[in-house]
Amino acid sequence: MSTAEKIWPKGWPPEIRETPSRFKRAIGKYWVRRSSLCNDCGICVDLCPYGVHRKIGTKMLLPRDYRCIGFVCQETDHYCINKCPEKALTLIRNPMCDAMGDKRWTADLLISTWYQAETGEVPPGDLEYKVGDSGGGFDKLRFKFELEGERPKEIPDKKEISTSILLNRRNDKRPKVAISVPFYGGGMSFGSVSLTTMLARAKAAMAWNTFTCTGEGGYPEALVPYADYIITQVATGLFGVREETIQRARVVEFKYAQGAKPGLGGHLLGDKVTQAVAKMREAVAGSALFSPFPFHSVYSVEDHKKHVDWIKEVNPHALVAVKVSTPTDVDMVAVGSYYAGAHIIHLDGSYGGTGAAPNIAKKNIAMPIEYAIPKVHRFLIDEGIRDEMVIMASGGIRTAYDIAKAIALGADGAVIGTSELVALECIRCGNCESGRGCPRGIATTDPELTKLMELNWGAQRIINLFNAWHSQLVDILRRLGIQSIKDLVGRTDCLVHLDYM
């Protein structure tokens, strides 16, 4: 059996199909304008390798300028601006880029994620797709091979590189569940996002042999066909938690805290609690719903073990994950979860969260994830239990390079969330908490707004994004001379912090 067959039980690779924006004019970094001087000669169509210019019959169409690589094209022999015989073309930077995004999710990161979701490929040109501009965190970390003059050790055959990780490393006779990529989707509940968004994430998880998580809003029946790729979450509000949903899950996640708002619990405003959401959560439509903090039945490791034992009794085949925020004693929390019998400790740092998480919490309370990962990794090594515990990290994981950096710091893999929503063309407007606040029909329960997104379109966009990420992860490993993502765990020697060079 080949390496690919071992890693990809459902075939290699998932089908990648070009999936353009669902909106008439997609947003790009540059604007290409064609004036009335154009004589429809089509020279630009023949020149451009990026599909910016198109022609139907004798008529030129509007440029797909979101595909333009910009002024770096001046150095090539296919620069359409100079080659146009009528001088009908002009190129400028899109002024929307100055108003879009933030320091962590820059305009470049948004646009590059959209490009990867459309094509399944790494963006060409000068789009920054690896880091943001936060001035800290993963944005300050680099792999050594990225620095000028650093000679990488290269493995010539990419097919021999493995990105698969095992989620159960305990000898407890429970299934040895493996995922083919070192990441899975974090909890987004029915109510916080639309059912279409949940299903798109589930279809993409199935295509890539990984998981997505229901979040705390219950387990909609529409997800049942994807049960083998669904993590069901048990959170403090116990919304929608039923014996049958636990029994069908391969992984059950306890959410004890969220890095974006530790100590605050959850809050779903009343205008998002539609009839369907209320039925799933066994609540009253139109009434705001709160998840308390913490579980008021858990105040010790012994209480925690009772929780884990409960799930193991209800489902003898399920793995148990524990999602916690990152307090200063997060290393002790991880050890406690190990002795309680959990398989996965999910560390959720302070950079994550959607527009529903208050800035005062996510910017000031929890420990940044890049500090929490090595702290927990080293402590579990010192305790002699690192080989039995899987560490998954979240809280601001935006790119393939963020995933790889988290692993190099000591995690086994990453949990993602916002990146998937950006693949669906989220513009990070920050109105996720409002029932009609999401202008793109992603984080909404409004029946009309949810129609803005079609399921197969959304699923393919996420599938494509994962393909671009997978190719980048393989390239990172190849350039480091590492054949398996497992061998990157804790390799801080591969990283450089720009402030301490």
- Supply the CATH number for residue 46's domain: 3.30.70.20
C-alpha 64/C-alpha 449 separation (Å) is: 26
Query: Whole-number mean pLDDT of the chain?
Result: 90
Confidence of residue 278 (pLDDT cuts 50, 70, 90): confident
Tokens 């710091």 -> residue: 409
In a domain? residue 12: no
Q: Same structural domain for residues 289 and 371?
A: yes
Cβ-based neighbour number of residue 385 at 10 Å: 16
pLDDT for 191: 86
Confidence of residue 196 (pLDDT cuts 50, 70, 90): very high
124: nearest Cα among 82, 81, 66, 83: 66
For residue 346, the 8-state DSSP code is E
pLDDT surpasses 80 at 52: yes
C-alpha 413/C-alpha 177 separation (Å) is: 14
pLDDT over 70 percentage in the chain: 92
Q: Which residue has the higher pLDDT, 234 or 434?
A: 234
Residue that terminates a domain, selected from 76, 93, 110: 93
> How long, in residues, is the chain?
501
Confidence of residue 5 (pLDDT cuts 50, 70, 90): very low
In a domain? residue 104: no
45: nearest Cα among 30, 60, 57: 60
pLDDT for 7: 45
pLDDT for 209: 96
Distance of CA 327 to the CA centre of its chain: 23
For residue 22, the 8-state DSSP code is S
In a domain? residue 226: yes
In a domain? residue 3: no
Q: Which domain holds residue 54?
A: 30-93
Q: Same structural domain for residues 169 and 67?
A: no
Q: Same structural domain for residues 53 and 172?
A: no
C-alpha 243/C-alpha 314 separation (Å) is: 7
Q: Same structural domain for residues 80 and 164?
A: no
C-alpha 258/C-alpha 88 separation (Å) is: 53
Residue that terminates a domain, selected from 66, 93, 120: 93
CATH code, domain carrying 292: 3.20.20.70
Could you report the per-residue pLDDT of 460-492, keeping only the tens digit for each? 999 999 999 999 999 999 999 999 999 999 999
Q: Same structural domain for residues 85 and 164?
A: no
pLDDT over 90 percentage in the chain: 72
pLDDT surpasses 70 at 205: yes
248: nearest Cα among 308, 318, 200, 312: 318
In a domain? residue 336: yes
Q: Same structural domain for residues 165 and 89?
A: no
pLDDT for 128: 97
70: nearest Cα among 87, 94, 47, 54: 94
For residue 62, the 8-state DSSP code is P
For residue 421, the 8-state DSSP code is H
pLDDT for 150: 65
Q: Give mean pLDDT, residues 139-151.
A: 86
pLDDT for 16: 95
pLDDT for 201: 98
pLDDT surpasses 60 at 414: yes
Structural domain count, the chain: 2
Confidence of residue 47 (pLDDT cuts 50, 70, 90): very high
67: nearest Cα among 21, 16, 131, 13: 21
Q: Same structural domain for residues 228 and 346?
A: yes
For 11-24, letters b (16+ CB in 10 Å) and e give eebbebeebbbbee
Tokens 């702290």 -> residue: 375
Q: Same structural domain for residues 399 and 485?
A: yes
C-alpha 270/C-alpha 314 separation (Å) is: 32
Positive or negative, the CA dihedral 394, 398, 403, 404 is negative
Residue that terminates a domain, selected from 93, 120, 140: 93
C-alpha 148/C-alpha 95 separation (Å) is: 31
pLDDT surpasses 90 at 155: no
Confidence of residue 282 (pLDDT cuts 50, 70, 90): confident
Amino acid at position 165, single letter = I
In a domain? residue 138: no
C-alpha 489/C-alpha 166 separation (Å) is: 13
Q: Which residues lie across from 270 on neighbouring strands?
A: none
Q: Give mean pLDDT, residues 128-138.
A: 95
Q: Same structural domain for residues 230 and 360?
A: yes
In a domain? residue 362: yes
Q: Same structural domain for residues 281 and 375?
A: yes
pLDDT surpasses 60 at 3: no
Q: Same structural domain for residues 72 and 193?
A: no
Number of H helices, E strands in the chain: 14, 18
Strand blocks (E) in 95-240 = 141-143, 165-166, 178-179, 183-185, 212-213, 230-235
Q: Which residue has the higher pLDDT, 485 or 297?
A: 485
Q: Which two tokens stand for residue 456?
A: 């197969």
Is beta strand 230-235 parallel, antiparallel or unpaired with respect to 344-348? unpaired
Q: Same structural domain for residues 180 and 76?
A: no
The dihedral region occupied by 487, where left means phi > 0, alpha psi between -120 and 50, and beta the remainder, is: alpha
342: nearest Cα among 392, 296, 404, 415: 392
In a domain? residue 291: yes
Q: Which two tokens stand for residue 50?
A: 């990026």
pLDDT for 357: 53
